[in-house]
Amino acid sequence: MRQELLLEFLSEEIPAKFQRKAISDAKTAITGILNDNGAIFDKVDSFVSTRRITLRIQNLLPQTKDSFQKKRGPKTTASQEAICGFLKSNHKASEDLIETDGYYYLNIENKGVAICDVIPTIIENFILNMPWKKSMKWYLEDQNTLSAFWVRPIRSILCVYDFSTIRTYVKSVGITTDNITFGHRFLSPQQIEIYDFNDYISKLEKNNVMLDFFKKREYIDREISQMAAAMGLCVKIDDDLLDEVTGLVEYPFIHMGTIDEQFMKLPSAVLSTFMKVHQKYFTLTYPDSVAAPFFGMVTNVPGTEVMYEGFNRVLRARLSDAAFFFKEDSDVTLEAYAQRLSNVVFHEKLGSIAQKIYRMMSIASTKEEHRVIALCKADLMTQMVGEVPELQGVMGEIYANLQFEKAEVCVAIREHYKPLGASDGLPVTKTGARVAFFDKLDTLVGFLGSDIYPTGSKDPFALRRAAHSIIRLLCDFDGNVLEGETLSWYITTLMTSYSDQGVALNQDTLVNVEKFLTDRFKIYVADRLNIGPDVVDSAITNVDTFCFDCKETVKKIERLKTLMDLPEFSSIKEACKRVRGTLEQNSDDLPLVSVAELSFKDENMINVQNLVLKLEEKPHDFGIITSVSSAILSAYDNVLINDPDPKIREKNFALLNRFSEIIKLHYGVL
């Protein structure tokens, strides 16, 4: 394809966990930079692999856009000499002057420039603006200074436009661009000359580099699944692990290994977690989901007997550690571990983990909840969780089972950490959901009450995630997490518990926590229903505190969204707007009477009354809402709503007020 710009930034290995997000970040960054520089193009493709970020800009025209600028000159009261100077410097005549607000202006046209002259700026800006979770600088010997920030040191930059090599010195990283790239670091490290994208892809594949992250991921998933199936086994696919191993290899080679039988006595969660965390191995299971004594792995080079022996030796050492930790931990009760939590700091301002447990106890209501709370953090003191923190909660459940705790208690110990993120499932048991709610709410109350808030993108204590989890529990758990109490009650009770422990929270803690949760609720519902925040606001706009039913409010917003999609919505909204305006101006004349008891002589108002009575019975019938809205607009055109007769006026207001209440209750403020 002609008029194509191909850029590649080849660096040291990019951390595997950064790569997937970098694909979209790179596309967003380069698209913004191209637009800012007036480039005219069709499409941007971005690729991130183990050592390279590649950008393909298709149909990039050789000239940037013409731009227009309204340039301000001297005041209209300025001397003729100043005005003439302004015109001369911009090559304009007096008839081109535009007078606005006491100043002279000129419309200046800036002609586009050659894209090749802009490409150096595009490259520099991309390096400076590409966002990384973590980045570094390195020493530039030729400049005797440090480079710009990048995820890892850049070693070469490829730049080809319209089959031609663009050579420019990129000062921020001390590299001159060329049409050179390199193959696989170990299998094909030689230089490769590139002429366009198709040539680039073809030569990389011949040199053992699979560029496309998602194709590589799909290949690994497919190959490892097929190899397992050939053995009569299934792969326990872990999406995070699959992303990580995809990012670790330039070209994937799939292998199967064997687990020593002695380690198959370990709990399957321990086995799979140790293999994932320490070795990046996939767990294999029999068709009935029982762990099999085999594992799958991905390497960056073909396997050899020496490699396999090394893999098995390291795995044996890791699983020997796991077996030792499991035996040692099992000899101590969870109660004994829980007693050690008084020495573990939750936060310097908020006391220990043991104090957190005490506060959670203050809002629990059943024996099962109290038992779960007493044991839920105990596994933090075990050697197993100390070695692999990902097992917290999981080991608590396992050890609780070994101690013959009730099944519901065992499960709830694991579940109280859920949901860990947006994609994580909710607890299944009510006890687990309630304790999870207690845990996360205590965290919010303590931190927000101590004026510790997330700032910008930084949220070191995961307060947004805690709030998001609370909202999901309130909205989506199949049961009532609040158990008849208000959210305010839980917050104030926790505040009292903090006070009993000598922790002084600010007096606005209740308001601040409820506002924080309300804001997260709005974001959650807007994302979930793919609607604007204004739609959510309209449904809860009059709520000063978090006293609304989350589940019902979500249903209310869903109904409002459906209502807004109706072709008659503009008329419905106009009727609601006119009614609201009338009621706001006459708030003192709103009698509390039944609509059925009202009597009207005017046919327009009788029609509205009959339709409002129907709406009371079927408030979710969009046809009735459309009809009553039309009738109200007709009444405004034919009836004096604000009648001089106070009795007639009060009845009119009462009828309209009832309509407004129904809409507000079931849909929000339109």
Per-residue pLDDT reduced to its tens digit, 201-255: 999 999 999 999 999 999 999 999 999 999 999 998 899 999 999 999 999 999 9
- The helix (H) or strand (E) run that includes residue 106 is strand 103-110
Kind of pairing between the strands at 43-48 and 67-75: unpaired
Work out the percent of the chain whose per-residue pLDDT is above 90: 84
Residue type, 202: S
Q: List, in order, residues 6 or more apart from 321 with CB less than 8 Å away.
A: 274, 387
Question: What is the tens place of the pLDDT at every residue in 123-140?
Answer: 999 999 999 999 999 999
Over 90: is that where the pLDDT of 499 sits?
A: yes
pLDDT of residue 541: 60
Cα–Cα separations (whole angstroms), residue 392 to 131, 328, 336, 414, 416 = 32, 16, 17, 8, 10
- The helix (H) or strand (E) run that includes residue 295 is strand 291-299
Closest by Cα among 175, 180, 182 to 194: 180
User: Widest CA span of the chain, in angstroms?
Assistant: 100
Instruction: Find the mean pLDDT for residues 353-365.
Output: 97
pLDDT of residue 588: 66
Where b means 16+ CB within 10 Å and e means fewer, 139-162 reads ebeeeeeebbebbbebebbbbbbb
Instruction: Find the mean pLDDT for residues 427-455.
Output: 97
pLDDT of residue 107: 87
Neighbours of 418 (CB within 10 A): 19
What domains are there in the chain, each with its CATH number?
5-63+115-206 (no CATH), 67-110 (no CATH), 213-330 (no CATH), 349-546 (no CATH), 566-666 (1.10.730)
Q: List, in order, residues 6 or more apart from 468 with CB less than 8 Å away.
A: 422, 520, 524
pTM above 0.95, yes or no: no
Question: What is the tens place of the pLDDT at every residue in 294-311?
Answer: 999 999 999 999 999 999
Over 70: is that where the pLDDT of 35 sits?
A: yes
Question: What is the tens place of the pLDDT at every residue in 458-496?
Answer: 899 999 999 999 999 999 999 999 998 999 999 999 999
DSSP letter, residue 110: E
Structure token digits, residue 481: 């997490």
Are the CB atoms for 73 and 86 separated by under 8 Å?
Answer: yes
Q: List, in order, residues 6 or more apart from 404 with CB less than 8 Å away.
A: none
Are the CB atoms for 440 and 469 separated by under 8 Å?
Answer: yes
Over 80: is that where the pLDDT of 589 sits?
A: no
Question: What is the tens place of the pLDDT at every residue in 164-208?
Answer: 999 999 999 999 999 999 999 999 999 999 999 999 999 999 999
Return the top range by mean pLDDT from 270-274, 528-532, 542-546.
270-274
pLDDT of residue 422: 81
pLDDT of residue 110: 79
